């Protein structure tokens, strides 16, 4: 009897609706998505990646999408965010090198913490030996992180850095329209422009809102429109 794969999510709740295939696919993200998808294969150019970009570009969505791909491939995984490092101990980073893929979000929040730096350095060394793949996400590229431990800074400099590209308003509008079609409903341009202008400009939030809007429309038995978007947002 096969043993079920082990997934440790800790303080990150995975969203079943998130997938790399649902991330905005446009001219700005074409190369980015190609590199990401390649990183999950056995032919990956590296085992160590840092995905970075300004707030609102969709880092959390991408990390969850990557994690979802590994789960679908029955890989053993771990997912953690440094947003909650105050309620966790660096010891949670111990004994993880036996897993196949680790996803650690908001890495820039680890700055100025010697205990966490030591734990990360030990973890990376163990993963170099075991072949475990590591994905970090951060608002900063590696060279701009304040790292006290010189050996850790050296290790991080060897990570393959992938910047999430900035997406234009026009690309967001077109991508949301195409995404709604894949889900089986059609958003008119007026509604999409309202969503982009009056809800969130955060890419992850926009993609999640699309899923919520579909469910809310079915629940209310109403056609999706700017007024339905307002109703859903006000009901939260």
pLDDT given for residue 152 in this prediction:
96
pLDDT band at 87 (very low <50, low <70, confident <90, very high): low
Show the domains of the chain with their CATH numbers: 7-163 (3.40.50.300), 169-235 (1.10.8)
Q: How many CA atoms lie within 13 A of 193 on its CB side?
A: 4
Using left for φ > 0, alpha for ψ between -120 and 50, and beta otherwise, residue 112 falls in: left
Measured CA to CA, the distance from residue 224 to residue 119 in angstroms comes to: 48
C-alpha pair distances (Å), 65 with each of 58, 142, 146, 151: 10, 22, 28, 30
Measured CA to CA, the distance from residue 145 to residue 138 in angstroms comes to: 9
Coil, helix or strand at residue 135? strand
pLDDT given for residue 233 in this prediction:
81
pLDDT tens digit sequence for 140-180: 988 898 899 999 999 999 999 999 988 888 888 887 887 78
The reported pTM is 0.81
186: burial class by Cβ within 10 Å (0-12, 13-18, 19+)?
exposed
Coil, helix or strand at residue 133? strand
More confident of the two residues 136 and 89 = 136
DSSP 111: T
pLDDT band at 101 (very low <50, low <70, confident <90, very high): very high
- Stated as kind and residue range, the H or E segment containing 35 is helix 30-39
Structure tokens at 93: 């980073």
pLDDT band at 7 (very low <50, low <70, confident <90, very high): low
pLDDT tens digit sequence for 187-205: 888 888 888 887 877 777 7
pLDDT band at 13 (very low <50, low <70, confident <90, very high): low
Query: Which DSSP string corresponds to 59-99?
Result: HHHHHHHHHHHHHHTT--EEEEEGGGGGGS-GGGGTT-TTS
The pLDDT > 70 percentage for the chain reads 93
pLDDT tens digit sequence for 34-73: 999 999 998 888 999 999 998 888 898 899 999 999 999 9
User: Pseudo-torsion of CA 129, 134, 139, 140, nearest 10°?
Assistant: 20
- Residues in contact with 16: Cβ distance below 8 Å, sequence separation at least 6, in sequence order: none
In the beta sheet, which residues pair with residue 83? Answer: none
Q: Does residue 84 surpass a pLDDT of 70?
A: yes
């Amino acid at each position: 009897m096969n043993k079920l794969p082990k997934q440790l999510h800790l303080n990150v709740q995975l969203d079943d609706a998130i997938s790399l295939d649902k991330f905005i696919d446009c001219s700005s993200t074409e190369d980015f998505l190609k590199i990401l998808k390649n990183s999950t294969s056995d032919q990956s150019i590296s085992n160590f990646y840092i995905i970075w970009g300004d707030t609102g570009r969709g880092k959390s969505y991408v990390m969850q999408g990557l994690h979802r791909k590994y789960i679908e491939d029955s890989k053993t995984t771990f997912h953690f965010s440094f947003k909650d490092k105050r309620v966790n101990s660096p010891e949670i980073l111990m004994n993880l090198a036996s897993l196949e893929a680790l996803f650690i979000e908001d890495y820039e929040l680890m700055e100025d913490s010697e205990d966490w730096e030591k734990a990360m350095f030990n973890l990376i060394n163990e993963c170099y030996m075991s072949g475990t793949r590591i994905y970090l996400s951060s608002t900063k590229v590696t060279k701009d992180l304040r790292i006290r431990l010189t050996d850790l800074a050296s290790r991080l400099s060897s990570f393959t850095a992938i910047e999430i590209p900035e997406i234009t308003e026009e690309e967001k509008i077109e991508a949301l329209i195409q995404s709604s079609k894949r889900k089986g409903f059609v958003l008119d341009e007026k509604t999409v422009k309202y969503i982009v202008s009056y809800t969130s400009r955060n890419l992850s939030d926009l993609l999640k809102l699309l899923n919520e809007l579909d469910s809310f429309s079915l629940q209310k038995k109403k056609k999706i429109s700017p007024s339905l978007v307002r109703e859903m947002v006000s009901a939260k």
